[in-house]
Amino acid sequence: MRAMPGFTLKSLKAHYALVPLFGVTVMGFSGAMYYLGRLATRCPEVGWKNPTIKTPKEHWQRYKPTDQYKFYSPTRDYSKERFPPERPKLD
């Protein structure tokens, strides 16, 4: 079975205009995989709890109010965030 035109190095040399297309496609795919991996490991709504390990807290209780788990927050610094005293304790 022959490879499709544009998928071999020899045909890419003949059709050089396809190189940026493959580059942008690979960068987009890599960025999407990075973002999905980060969501699966850093997001507090996702739990990867091992049933053999006994932990005193659930996964959503390990986060402090000042932890930044958002992907991008240009206007808010969560480490300097202050909360009103009437807010109930999360512990």
**Secondary structure (3-state) at 29:** helix
What whole-number distance in Å separates Cα of residue 71 and Cα of residue 59?
A: 18
* Domain annotation covers residue 90: no
* Domain annotation covers residue 63: yes
What does the pLDDT profile of the chain (91 residues) look like in tens digits? 777 777 788 888 888 888 898 899 999 999 999 999 988 887 766 766 666 766 666 666 666 666 666 667 778 777 777 777 777 766 5
Phi, psi of 51 (to 5 degrees): -70, -15
In this prediction, residue 33 carries a pLDDT of 97
Sign, Cα dihedral of 42, 46, 50, 51: positive
* Domain annotation covers residue 33: yes
Domain count, the chain: 1
* Domain annotation covers residue 76: yes
* Domain annotation covers residue 23: yes
* Domain annotation covers residue 62: yes
Phi, psi of 5 (to 5 degrees): -65, 135
How far does the chain reach from its first CA to its final CA, in angstroms?
62
* Domain annotation covers residue 91: no
Q: Which domain holds residue 53?
A: 9-80
In this prediction, residue 59 carries a pLDDT of 62
